[in-house]
């Protein structure tokens, strides 16, 4: 069992607290690999808080941020985005620090797609926060491209589906379809569409950008002997195998 006593960390801001015994799991994977889906499953099965800084920024802009979030930080993020600027690395780190204070983070956290760059990793390291395990979800590039081109999203609630079926080279991936054709399972909307950025050219560019920015980060984690690669050849149907292999690695932390 994870201990839930709270300790203050002198290296952090005086108001920052996190829970003793927290496990820090980093989850990497190219666009379309299923990282977000696996993160949601892990949050439920391991009782870890799922931290996606992009999601948190969107929540703040919609006024849906957790009550524990610093009002000053929320206002700063809104001001930056509304002025058309990009949220800088220091803000990203502060979002993570705010999330660590949430009760849902007692056992640990899943850092989804963070750090994106070496600069973000350096700023994270400067906070003296740990790196326990880095999970890198992998798939063949042609499979990734096919999956992304089959992706659909509900305009009503953002729920995602996939109309692609893959059965080749050891890959067995079933489509993820709405239970009722053309109708979102979550909100009932019939507005299920292809995302504007899910064209072949844009997807290929995103994959190249991911490799360019993320490869140096993964190489740094590999030097620290913190990485574990998992190829999810069956998509969501591989999750139980993934979890079975992951648990012993977490138990060693």
Angle at which helices 89-100 and 71-82 cross, to 10°: 150
What value does the mean pLDDT take over residues 115-128?
Answer: 95
**What would the mean pLDDT of 74-89 be, rounded to a whole number?**
92
pLDDT tens profile 140-181: 999 999 999 999 999 999 888 999 999 999 999 999 999 999
Q: Give me the pLDDT at residue 132, please.
A: 96
CB 161 within 8 A of CB 223: no
Domain boundaries, the chain: 6-139+212-251
Evaluate whether 131 touches 120 at the Cβ level (below 8 Å).
no
| Whole-prediction pTM | 0.83
Mean pLDDT comparison of 66-75, 198-207, 229-238, highest-scoring range: 229-238
What is d(CA 43, CA 62) in angstroms, rounded to the nearest whole number?
Answer: 23
**Alpha-carbon gap, residue 173 to 107, rounded angstroms:** 32
DSSP bridge partners of 193:
153
* 13-37 confidence digits (pLDDT tens): 434 445 668 999 999 999 889 898 8
| In contact, 81 and 95? CB cutoff 8 Å | no
Cβ neighbours for 74, distance < 8 A, ≥ 6 positions apart: 60, 65
Q: Write down the pLDDT at residue 197.
A: 80
Q: What is the mean pLDDT of the chain?
A: 89
Percentage of the residues of the chain whose pLDDT score is greater than 90 = 71
The CATH architecture assigned to 6-139+212-251 reads 3-Layer(aba) Sandwich (3.40)
């Amino acid at each position: 069992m994870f201990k839930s006593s709270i300790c203050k960390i002198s290296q952090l801001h005086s108001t920052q607290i996190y829970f003793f015994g927290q496990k820090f799991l980093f989850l990497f994977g190219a666009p379309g690999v299923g990282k977000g889906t696996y993160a949601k499953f892990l949050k439920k099965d391991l009782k870890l808080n799922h931290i996606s800084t992009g999601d948190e920024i969107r929540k703040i802009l919609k006024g849906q941020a957790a009550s524990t979030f610093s009002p000053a930080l929320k206002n700063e993020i809104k001001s930056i985005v509304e002025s058309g600027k990009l949220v800088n690395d220091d803000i990203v780190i502060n979002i993570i620090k705010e999330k660590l204070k949430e009760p849902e983070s007692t056992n640990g956290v899943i850092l989804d797609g963070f750090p994106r760059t070496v600069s973000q990793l350096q700023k994270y390291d400067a906070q003296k926060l740990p790196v326990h395990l880095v999970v890198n979800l992998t798939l063949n590039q042609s499979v990734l491209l096919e999956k992304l081109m089959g992706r659909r999203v509900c305009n009503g609630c953002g729920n995602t589906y996939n109309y692609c079926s893959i059965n080749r080279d050891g890959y067995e991936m079933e489509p993820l379809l709405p239970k009722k054709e053309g109708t979102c399972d979550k909100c009932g909307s019939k507005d299920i569409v292809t995302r504007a950025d899910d064209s072949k050219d844009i997807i290929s560019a995103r994959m190249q950008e991911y490799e360019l920015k993320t490869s140096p980060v993964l190489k740094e984690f590999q030097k620290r002997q913190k990485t574990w690669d998992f190829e999810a050849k069956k998509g969501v149907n591989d999750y139980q195998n993934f979890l079975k292999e992951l648990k012993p690695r977490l138990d060693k932390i």
